[in-house]
A and B are shown apart, each in its own frame.
Chain A
């Protein structure tokens, strides 16, 4: 198909101003294979897998690229209910029937089988795990079997069995969490988290289903339950069609807590998570609602709007526009090579942020449009907070934050509001410093595994037809098998898998939100790239992926905000001072170090409105912390205002910048004081000539003699220098004979 469409966003038809906060970018990953019988998504390895009768073709979806090359593995012919690659991708596991799983060693092509022992058991599905106890977990209607794989003997060794009745299950690799449904209504759940830290069993819990009538007993289906991972926390979302609510449960290590419900406006709902933003697709209504489940707030970020298809070649743009609304027909008619029907029946939503168009064998990745979201809200502080939490497009979020901050300052918005904005920025920076993410300039290519940020591109999973409803939810094998295509949707692992792993390693417990970034991996001490760019936020798009976090350092605040607005704020120096103070206040609260630049700027602003008295207060109270830069700025202003000069001198002395201090004393004519200071602090390397000249200029022979004498004592060998001789002679001329 249109292979040439550039993957860059620049082709976007409508620009960010379009009526949409969520878009999919043309062009998608094409995964049609001749003879394909099934389409699966393996979220453990993030591979999109298409199978033919004897081949397994897989595409990497992380990082997401429409041009990913498929890898082909041959296997023996037979039915395929599910396919999963081992986490190291050395093995392929294929579920052949409800009682048999076959394994291939990819290097050698060796195969072996694993069957259920008892006839009555049937395999519902399986997944690979990085749990230290075992390598693969098989879910059967009678419980879980945990196997370790023995490479030498090429056999599976049963490590542990957990007996449970299981009707169906949900698993996502990102959460490492498997939820097992049981009971008549399938609303009783057992949960296990199998992470690299071991196995954690969750307390049994029940989900809530409203009853339409007294006797009705609605049964919960696997497509009604989604596991989502947001900010490293694991939630479960459950659709309640009767009350039209999406119940939200949060998992802790020892508890499952219901955390309120979100309204739904469609009987079919799908969930995606993009960059920790929860997207609730109201499929029937063809709109998506965004939530940022960070605090307890359950207010949507934005109004419901359709998903937009971006970047279609021009002719099609109309179509895509119309998609939002209804359009299946119109679209189909327009799009030539692939019919993109927004919220079409063939859309399957994969965990966490991919959409698979099963009919056309296309895989789309979902993006959120930060600019549009930012533009749709006037609550600057909360917009900044939202943007600061974005990791995928960290650079864009950062540039947006900078631009927004500049704008509010230039518009002289009320100080308390700007103060909150400063708080948002500074606390985010402080957090990123603590977690170390600020210093990670990660290159995308480098780490598929896992730096969440990087994954921005990579979250996609292609799932063939399996029906993943929402994000994050994977469909079980069972369900897959039910669907015609028999694809397996596994929950897709998604971006940030690593981070999540970390998260999951401390399982359900309240995982701190930042865990993802906690990876100590590459701490580079150099600041992120964009620093060098201009103030223009748009310039640096290309560097986008290198940033791990949109956090803005004080230095960047200076360069891109304060210094940038300063010239335009000439009329309002006191307003800018107020803003700077708010910034310092935030920084102080968060214990963030502020670059002297900002202090220097504050001093200049105060001085230019002639507020030297206040400047003195600022210095004395150390609101502007002492530094060499500050001291020199004070000294420079000292030409206008003597007191300020003294403040600068005092600061030099307090900072023990002996040489500068001594030099300035001499310049001001206090050469004797300077000498005393030199003696007391043993300042070496002073140039006697300066002192001698100063003493000579004062025309006081006693002073000159004192200086000569001082250096004769202080500097060994001084008496044999030319300086000494010259001034000794001068002294002699001044008053006859004096012996030094």
Chain B
């Protein structure tokens, strides 16, 4: 419904990752390609995609060495570029379908690429590091393939590939959604955080606390917070654990209810997922020759579905990271933090709606799993009471799914300074008409463009921006940007006067944004 659909087996979507430093000689071009989806595409086709991309990159670099090509808009396709690491490029090619559903916002697609890469980094480190480790590229490919495929599987729903389309223009990927808490609860939460910290003694631990699918606290720097938050919402929160079929948090919020209602859709999608994973395994073993049997590379697939569950002691467990040799205990997951450049054990504890993730540096624990379970023990001793209390406090203040609904408004609020966003609940957004959404989509495209220009013009200077559109269906579609904060809103059934619209923004700003958008 709300999602653009692309037939996975067709050329609706192509995604490739390649390294410009490889395959410099004629005849070795295939060596550049680290990942390609769909994998069964003939090499010639794959090469033509990368070849075109490389050509454009090389060409545009002449004019803009720092930021080469961002996007190619062809007649039938959009090519979205992203360079996550120097000379490593990700390119996504999406078809511009005649159906109106397939209307993409480039920036949103790029966010998808960013997300894949960031998550990959979190678990496996940088692609470049993997390449350096094994210059042949086999190691890298064997990691990238299952990872990206697992990621993509989340985007497939039914037979369709759900990419962020205009329906999702009241969402911002790569941001964190926060729970708003009162001061008292906030202090309670922070004392819990300190308890965790102090229970770890001198080692520098980090923690992340979620309530439902919303972030409550993080001691990680923003980027790592986003990554871990994304992963938690995908796989660890109570909803992710129970839903079986994972999908993006905001999608889930919007559509899970309807899907659950129609049980058949659900079952259906499950079978598709199975099929799909079967084909992944096939493609995977065909191209990289590592998944089964062969132990050339032991590849961990953190995004595999349905592999997490809640243990008796409240800790979440998974066999994704395998089992310790000669031990029944499951190996503890590890993640790599961008900020500290250190590998950390990831321990997740869940009590009712509260998920507490804490990260312990791997090198601070000498005796492996045994040490980790000791830490967990300590954690339980020190924090479990506090966790009870915090959960109770938060539950009491929790307004439910629609807690952040503001009646009359459909909005998206992004604080790009802190990578936080908040939006109208997805269920409410679905009540908007297509015209409104399309108008907002256009507006956001426009804003993205302005923002992009601005980024290169004055790096440190935030530019204020205000746009207000009267859509065909007489809805007001408004964007306001000030001081790095962005507010998008759709007002349907509104008065025709511009003054009315601007008053509405003002009111909203005063009540919900501390007046951040009420500068004049």
Interface residues of A (CB under 8 A from B): 414-416, 419, 574-575, 577-578, 581-582, 584-585, 588-589, 611, 613-614, 616-618, 620-623, 625, 642-643, 646, 649-650, 653-654, 669, 673, 676-677, 679-680
Contact = CB atoms under 8 A, between A and B. Distances in A.
Nearest to A611: B219
Interface string B167-191: 0000000000000010110111011
B221 interface: yes
A183 to B, nearest CB: 54
A669 B461 contact: yes
Contacts of A679: 520
B222 A623 contact: no
A654 B515 contact: yes
Contact of A588 (B184, B222, B382, B514): B184
Nearest to B462: A670
Nearest to B178: A620
A415 B183 CA distance: 20
B104 to A, nearest CB: 30
A614 B483 contact: no
Contacts of A582: 191, 194
A669 B217 CA distance: 33
Contact of B190 (A589, A623, A676): A623
B198 A613 contact: no
A621 B186 contact: yes
Given A613-B220, A623-B190, A643-B417, A654 B519 contact: no
Given A650-B514, A676-B520, A622 B217 contact: no
Contact of B520 (A575, A623, A680): A680
A613 B186 contact: no
B194 A581 contact: yes
5 contacts: A611-B219, A613-B222, A614-B218, A621-B181, A673-B482
Contact of A646 (B186, B188, B217, B417): B417
* A-B interface, 7 closest residue pairs, ranked by CB to CB distance from nearest: A578-B194, A621-B186, A676-B520, A585-B187, A643-B417, A622-B183, A623-B186
Contact of A613 (B219, B483, B520): B219
A616 B418 contact: yes
A625 B184 CA distance: 12
B93 to A, nearest CB: 36
Interface size class of B (residues with CB under 8 A): 20 to 34
Main secondary structure of the interface of A (DSSP, over half): helix
Contact of B198 (A575, A643, A650, A669): A575
A646 B484 contact: yes
Nearest to A586: B187
A720 B41 CA distance: 77
B112 interface: no
B191 A585 contact: yes
B195 interface: yes
A63 B154 CA distance: 82
Contacts, number: 87
A623 B187 contact: yes
A679 B519 CA distance: 10
A617 B186 CA distance: 9
A585 B188 contact: yes
A581 B191 contact: yes
A613 B218 contact: yes
A680 B519 contact: yes
Interface string B301-312: 000000000000
B190 A613 contact: no
Interface core residue of A620, A625, A669 (most chain B CB under 10 Å): A620
B511 to A, nearest CB: 13
A100 to B, nearest CB: 69
Given A419-B191, A574-B194, A676 B519 contact: yes
A672 to B, nearest CB: 9
A611 B460 CA distance: 22
Given A581-B190, A623-B183, A673 B519 contact: yes
Nearest to B460: A642
B516 interface: yes
A219 to B, nearest CB: 55
B464 A673 contact: yes
A608 B124 CA distance: 31
B481 to A, nearest CB: 12
A8 B464 CA distance: 71
B194 A643 contact: no
A578 B188 contact: no
B464 A578 contact: no
A578 B197 contact: yes
Interface in B413-428: 417-418
A714 to B, nearest CB: 14
A585 B515 CA distance: 28
B187 A581 contact: yes
A617 B194 contact: no
Contacts of B188: 585
Contacts of A613: 218-222, 225, 418
A577 B193 CA distance: 11
A650 B516 contact: yes
Given A613-B220, A621-B181, A623-B186, A653 B191 contact: no
Contacts of A646: 417, 483-484
A646 B416 CA distance: 12
Nearest to B220: A613
A315 to B, nearest CB: 54
A677 B198 contact: no
Nearest to A577: B194
Given A613-B221, A614-B218, A677-B520, 6 more contacts: A574-B194, A577-B194, A578-B197, A581-B190, A642-B460, A650-B483
Contacts of A653: 514-515
Nearest to B192: A581
A584 B515 CA distance: 27
Nearest to A679: B520
Contacts of A616: 418
Nearest to A625: B183
Contacts of B183: 588, 621-623, 625
Contacts of A677: 519-520
A620 B190 CA distance: 13
Contact of A415 (B186, B194, B217): B194
A643 B420 CA distance: 13
A574 B206 CA distance: 12
Nearest to A609: B204
A190 B114 CA distance: 86
B473 to A, nearest CB: 32
A625 B183 CA distance: 9
Interface in B53-68: none
